[in-house]
Amino acid sequence: MKRLYTLRRRLFAPLVYCAALFLIFEEWLWDVGARLMAKLATFPPLRALERIICSLGPSAAMAVFLLPALMLFPVKLLALFAMARGHAFMGISVFVLAKVAGAAAVARLYALTRPALLRLRWFALLHGRFMALKERWIARLKATAAWRECRALVDSVRQRLRRWRAGWRRGRFAARPMRVLRRFSAFWRMRRR
């Protein structure tokens, strides 16, 4: 029995790591998309559109909420078609771009339409069940060692990126490309003589 448990744990370990990385990426994508769409909403025509969306009834709010998924489905199919025809890079980039744009749009529309959608009894029931199930599974995933390792990896990468950006802002790295360009131009001036 112990061997079976160990074997099962070893077989599912890569899946747990993939799930942890996917969840971290999805959380990041949701947060960034929501912030980006909130900044875009300061544009006056979009602000007016958001006011209209917030004033919609439950049925119209459901239609607006499902709109990005319906609009991006053909784009994702075209991306898969491009990959099948041998244009893998183009297909993958279109698919990722559609995923990012769709997640950003859905995040903002969810925030705008949630009060109206929760007035639908069936939606409120399914929403409550889904959120409870999601929280349970996320809690189980966050209790694993894979989650802690992936989170530590992501945090270290973020910290390095912050330090790198701070170095560029202070001008610590900005001087180096100029030195390289000066050396390069001096080298070519000497070669001309």
The set of residues, in sequence order, having a beta carbon less than 8 Å from that of 16 and lying 6+ positions away, is 141, 144, 146, 147
Is residue 91 a part of any domain in this protein? yes
Q: Are residues 48 and 80 in the same domain?
A: yes
The pLDDT profile of the chain, 193 residues, written as one tens digit per residue, is: 667 667 666 666 777 777 777 777 777 777 777 777 778 878 888 888 888 888 888 888 888 888 887 888 888 888 888 888 888 888 888 888 887 787 778 878 888 888 998 898 998 999 999 889 888 888 887 887 777 887 888 888 888 888 877 776 666 655 666 677 777 777 777 776 6
Q: Both 151 and 132 in a single domain?
A: no
- Tell me, yes or no, whether 47 and 131 share the same domain: yes
Domain carrying residue 181: 145-193
Same domain, 181 and 93: no
Residues 54 and 129 in one domain: yes
CB 107 within 8 A of CB 30: yes
**pTM metric for this prediction:** 0.61
The two tokens of residue 119 are 């007035």
**Which of 132, 17, 126, 110 has the alpha carbon at shortest distance from 65?**
110
Compute the distance between CA of residue 68 and CA of residue 40 in angstroms, rounded to an integer: 17
